[in-house]
Amino acid sequence: MEIKLIQIAQLISGSIEGDENCIISAVSKIEEGFVGSITFLANEKYSNFIYSTGASAVIVNSNFKADKPLNASLIRVEDAYTAFAKILNVFNPVRYDEIGISSSAIISPSAIVGKDVFIGNFVTLGSNVTIGETTKVYHNSVIGNDVKIGKNCKIFPNVVIMANSIIGDNCSLYSGVIIGADGFGFAPEKGGNYAKVPQVGNVVIEDNVEIGANTTVDRATIGSTIIRKGVKLDNLIQIAHNCEIGENTVIAAQVGISGSTKIGKNCMIGGQVGIAGHIKIGDNVILYAKTGVIGNIEDGAMHMGAPSFDVKRYKKNYIYYMNLEKFAQRITQLEHEIKDLKRERINFLSLF
């Protein structure tokens, strides 16, 4: 694919400094740029590469100031990272334009399939399933009874959506995702046995949600486990029964969220965070990687550590932690000095 730089600038509402007619045929990292490629600079850590990159053009933030001459043309935009994401779509070799239903698909007579959908090989659609228009359900996926999937969704290979789940519009579920499996509910009995608690609720996923590979969202015991609109979930996340994830919250890989926990909107949760059950996390909260949350967190808080507490306090206390060996040595030294002082005092008093 080849496209003029001026066309790219129009697509991302940017202003050009340099050759607006240069031809762009690929995208590249800024440190690996080559003639004909376009890249971006959004992180100051990579600033030095803009002077040595071989890329023909670089997308930069509007306030970027060059310290020395540049070889590449520039496109100035409000947000270079977001703009480059749009360019990646232009050059994406993967196309999701398939239409049609595979002859090997197993579709219940009561299922309703919208127009311009794609149903791949060996897909199973249960009773009373509804698939919205232009949605793609790729190979080997299983859609249980009474599931509703909105329009323009992508259900990638080997996804399982259990009965009664509801998926909104413009959602992407990547391979290995399981929606609506039983929540982990067992009641202790006499003798040390456990009785399974039936999980009779469902999962509701609102519009514009993306769920990464091998992530699981359990059905509610009663009511619904809810993923609000705009949520982005990474790979290998576990969301337990009756949880609620607020709109536009983003969660990185290997996070575990226990049952009945409510997470607010616009939160950012780092990798391998563990969150206890039956607690409430406010809006605009940031949880750093490996944080362990055992209690409620107020709006706008930034937490770190296990158990978690305010990130500023954590960093201050961590300085002491890193110096514990020195403190221990100093305490031992002071103890010896105190003993010596006591001995000297006793010897002094014995003279009278």
- Of 70, 29, 75, 67, nearest in space to 51 by CA: 70
Q: Is 241 a catalytic residue?
A: yes
* Backbone φ, ψ for residue 127 (5° rounding): -65, 140
- Residue 348 vs residues 334, 336, 337, 338, 343: alpha-carbon distances, Å: 21, 18, 16, 15, 9
Write the CB contacts of 333 (distance below 8 Å, at least 6 apart in sequence). none
Q: Check if the beta carbon of residue 120 is closer than 8 Å to that of residue 102.
A: yes
Tell me whether strands 136-137 and 256-257 are parallel, antiparallel or unpaired: unpaired
Among the listed residues 139, 241, 303, 336, the single catalytic one is 241
- Joined together, the tokens standing for residue 299 give 């709006």
Q: Check if the beta carbon of residue 109 is closer than 8 Å to that of residue 126.
A: no
Q: From CA 85, how far away is CA 290, in angstroms rounded?
A: 28
DSSP one-letter code for 297: B
- Which amino acids are annotated catalytic? 241
